[in-house]
């Protein structure tokens, strides 16, 4: 009996592109070089002992990605020549049907590789009982459910599939038959999204847990979670709370009570999918739940061990920790640090003086170029024209809100925003991202930065103007009017904006400082591109409480500790003292 992975490569109509073209059958061929048992070590050794594109370099076909998908991939993303080392490790495991706990640094191709693997999986069919209900004559069902933390990341994954499908040779390609999104706040209402799911179940459904749960509560037959082949939880350590393994008993009990009271939509969905599978039986045989894949750049060892206790992982489970990990130290923090990143810190004094953090070193030579590149879309689709600048980067504020901003004191340190504006003007060629503290007002920050002459705009890939162009392009080519996207930590995780060269952070993360810093910083320096992270901090200061106790706030020292934990040192910004 051949393994499931070999069945994927030998059956007909085995990919989503077969389903895209009604009546068209694509015959997969059995690769002469790939089999699920092929040593991952051998694959990665071959890949990195030879130059990309060389005769012996590992190809996407070698690791099981369907040839039709690969052909469209190379047309849509011409600079994607070979899989990354991480992709060589986990894509065969996805296609073999194993459960996967995937951890590797930001920008190593986890999400992009998952999309390629999911597109290469065979479609599942609805049960006979579902088709006999009369709601839909379509035999296909949702094959893979991908849960992501925010709608911009959902749109990014959707956009990647859209770009690949646009290069498919099929003239009857239907995007909604391949991928759909379930998100709140979209131009399409939740009810219309439910109707579309009934009419045309997609091969891959990408959504936020809140939106998926809302659809499930309204009409669970639209999702048919019992037919899923694969469930992916991206940024798992953000979407699923777990009891901290090494906390004291009081903190563990407090976390446990919080989870019991507010389990969260991701946990509720997984409990339904996998608990139902555990209790269902046919002919006295228990049925395994769908393949479960969890990923994160900061998927710590103790967290992975904790989530395995929840009963969701049914069947073989594989841990993939990536090539940058350090197994001997149980996923040392430095394994998530992108070496192409330059970390800077500007300290603002009470009198407004801006200077580099103490101990910063001189800058080195710039890192290597992007190994992935953008898509082949016409420039006019994504380029921001000069005549559109005012409309694009000056979001309209209603009169009441503008009056409120003008008359009320700013919640931000003016010197800190001026430091952002100055560094942005002096150092950013095209696009940068400013990440505010979790409780900050994004609209207020955008307004104040615009008053300083910065082309600032709230990060929203699905906004009225549409920001698809941000998912493509070249970060190294300067433009006359660079843009600064403004967001908060929760809405930045997982995003890959090729034009992005700089990330600015206003203050340090409040919780899980190292992990959250890595996630924010990881928006730059992806796929081998150079990048710079600039953190803006207040100078050390003290405050005396009513009881006479002195409380010291020393963010520069905290920042130095974070960098030490991830194994790097701060670099000077040459324009500042």
Q: Are residues 289 and 341 in the same domain?
A: no
pLDDT at res. 208: 92
Enumerate long-range contacts of 377-386, CB under 8 Å, 24 or more apart: 377/163, 377/472, 381/468, 381/469, 382/468, 382/469, 382/472, 382/473, 383/469, 384/469, 384/479, 384/481, 384/483, 386/480, 386/481
* C-beta separation of 352 from 418 below 8 A: yes
Count of domains forming the chain: 2
Q: Are residues 361 and 315 in the same domain?
A: no
State the Cα–Cα distance between residues 307 and 302, nearest whole angstrom: 9
Examine the fold and report which residue of 325, 352, 378 is the final residue of a domain before the chain moves on: 325
Q: Are residues 320 and 352 in the same domain?
A: no
Tokens of 45: 């050794």
State the Cα–Cα distance between residues 435 and 190, nearest whole angstrom: 29
Within-domain flag for 291: yes
Whole-prediction pTM = 0.68
State the Cα–Cα distance between residues 300 and 331, nearest whole angstrom: 7
Tokens of 258: 């919080």
Q: Residue 441: name the closest of 405, 495, 492, 467 by CA.
A: 405
Within-domain flag for 6: no
Q: Are residues 293 and 344 in the same domain?
A: no
Domain that holds residue 163: 93-325
Tokens of 174: 């239907």
Strands 500-506 and 431-435: parallel
Q: Are residues 291 and 260 in the same domain?
A: yes
CB-based contacts of 135, cutoff 8 Å, min separation 6: 198, 221
CB-based contacts of 316, cutoff 8 Å, min separation 6: 98, 99
* C-beta separation of 195 from 109 below 8 A: no
Q: Are residues 306 and 341 in the same domain?
A: no
Ordered per-residue pLDDT tens for the chain, 577 residues: 333 332 333 233 333 343 333 222 222 322 333 333 333 334 434 443 334 445 568 899 999 999 999 999 999 888 888 998 889 999 999 999 999 999 887 777 889 999 999 999 998 887 655 544 555 555 788 999 999 988 888 888 998 999 999 888 764 568 899 999 998 877 788 889 999 999 999 999 999 999 999 999 999 899 988 889 999 999 888 888 877 766 778 877 887 888 888 888 999 999 999 986 544 444 455 567 899 999 988 777 777 777 888 889 998 899 888 654 333 334 444 444 555 789 999 999 988 889 999 988 988 765 444 433 443 333 322 233 333 333 334 445 667 777 788 778 888 888 899 999 988 888 888 889 999 998 888 889 998 898 888 888 888 776 644 455 555 554 444 456 788 999 988 888 878 787 788 999 998 887 777 888 888 888 787 666 678 999 999 998 888 888 888 888 889 999 999 899 888 899 998 888 7
pLDDT at res. 378: 32
State the Cα–Cα distance between residues 350 and 512, nearest whole angstrom: 27
Q: Are residues 380 and 294 in the same domain?
A: no
Strands 531-538 and 341-348: parallel
Examine the fold and report which residue of 273, 294, 325 is the final residue of a domain before the chain moves on: 325
Examine the fold and report which residue of 273, 298, 325 is the final residue of a domain before the chain moves on: 325
Q: What share of the chain is helix, strand, coil (3-state, %, to 5)?
A: 40, 15, 45
DSSP 576: -
Within-domain flag for 558: yes
pLDDT at res. 137: 52
Within-domain flag for 36: no
pLDDT at res. 196: 92
Q: Are residues 218 and 366 in the same domain?
A: no
Q: Are residues 287 and 414 in the same domain?
A: no
Q: Residue 213: name the closest of 144, 267, 258, 292 by CA.
A: 267
Other C-beta atoms lying within 10 Å of the C-beta of residue 133: 11
* C-beta separation of 113 from 526 below 8 A: no
User: Strand, helix or coil at 437?
Assistant: coil
- Assign residue 256 the CATH number of its domain: 3.40.50.300
Within-domain flag for 53: no
Q: Are residues 456 and 494 in the same domain?
A: yes
Q: Residue 110: name the closest of 240, 280, 233 by CA.
A: 233
* C-beta separation of 120 from 65 below 8 A: yes
Tokens 């008993």, residue located: 249
Within-domain flag for 548: yes
pLDDT at res. 95: 94
pLDDT at res. 16: 39
Please list the alpha-helical segments (H only) found in 109-178: 110-119, 128-131, 151-166, 175-178
Tokens 């500007």, residue located: 346
């Amino acid at each position: 009996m051949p393994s499931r992975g070999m069945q994927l490569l030998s059956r007909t109509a085995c990919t989503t592109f077969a389903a895209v073209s009604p009546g068209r059958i694509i015959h997969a061929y059995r690769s002469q070089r790939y089999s699920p048992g092929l040593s991952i070590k051998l694959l990665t050794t071959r890949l990195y002992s030879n130059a990309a594109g060389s005769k012996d370099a590992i190809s996407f076909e070698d690791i099981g990605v369907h040839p039709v998908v690969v052909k469209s991939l190379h047309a849509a993303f011409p600079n994607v020549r070979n899989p990354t080392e991480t992709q060589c490790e986990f894509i065969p495991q996805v296609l073999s049907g194993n459960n996967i706990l995937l951890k590797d640094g930001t920008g190593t191709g986890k999400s992009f590789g998952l999309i390629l693997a999911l597109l290469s999986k065979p479609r599942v069919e609805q049960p006979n009982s579902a088709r006999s209900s009369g709601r839909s004559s379509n035999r296909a069902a949702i094959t893979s459910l991908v849960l992501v933390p925010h709608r911009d990341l959902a749109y990014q994954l959707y956009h990647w599939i859209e770009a690949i499908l646009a290069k498919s040779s099929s003239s009857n390609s239907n995007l909604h038959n391949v991928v759909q999104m379930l998100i709140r706040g979209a131009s399409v209402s939740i009810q219309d999204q439910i109707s579309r799911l009934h009419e045309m179940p997609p091969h891959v459904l990408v959504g936020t847990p809140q939106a998926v749960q809302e659809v499930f509560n309204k009409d669970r037959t639209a999702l048919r979670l019992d037919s899923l082949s694969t469930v992916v939880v991206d940024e798992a350590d953000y979407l699923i709370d777990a009891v901290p393994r090494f906390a004291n008993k009081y903190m563990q009990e407090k976390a446990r009570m919080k989870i019991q009271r507010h389990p969260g939509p991701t946990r509720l969905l997984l409990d339904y999918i996998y608990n139902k599978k555990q209790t269902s039986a046919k002919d006295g045989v228990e049925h395994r739940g769908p393949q479960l894949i969890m990923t994160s750049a900061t998927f710590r060892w103790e967290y992975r061990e904790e989530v395995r206790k929840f009963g969701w992982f049914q069947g073989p489970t594989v841990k993939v920790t990536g090539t940058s990990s350090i197994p001997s130290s149980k996923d040392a923090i430095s394994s998530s640090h992108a070496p192409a990143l330059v970390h800077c810190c500007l300290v603002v004094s009470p009198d407004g003086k801006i200077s580099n953090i103490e101990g910063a070193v001189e800058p080195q030579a710039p890192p290597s170029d992007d190994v992935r590149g953008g898509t082949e879309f016409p420039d006019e689709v994504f380029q921001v024209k000069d005549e559109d600048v005012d409309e694009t980067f000056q979001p309209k504020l209603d009169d009441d809100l503008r009056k409120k901003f003008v008359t009320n004191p700013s919640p931000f340190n003016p010197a800190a925003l001026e430091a952002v504006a100055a560094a942005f003007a002096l150092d950013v060629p095209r696009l940068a991202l400013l990440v505010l503290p979790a409780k900050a007002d994004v609209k207020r920050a955008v307004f104040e930065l615009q008053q300083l002459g910065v082309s600032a705009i709230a990060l929203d890939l699905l906004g009225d103007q549409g920001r698809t162009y941000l998912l493509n392009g070249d970060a190294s080519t300067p433009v006359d009017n660079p843009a600064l996207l403004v967001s908060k930590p929760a809405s930045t995780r997982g995003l890959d904006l090729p034009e992005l060269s700089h990330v600015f952070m206003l203050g340090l993360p409040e919780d899980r400082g190292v992990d959250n810093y890595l996630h924010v910083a990881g928006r730059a320096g992806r796929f081998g591109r150079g990048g710079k992270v600039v953190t803006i901090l207040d100078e050390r200061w003290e405050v005396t409480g009513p009881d006479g106790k002195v409380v010291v706030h020393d963010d520069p020292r905290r920042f130095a500790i974070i960098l030490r934990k991830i194994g790097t040192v701060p670099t000077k910004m040459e324009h500042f003292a």
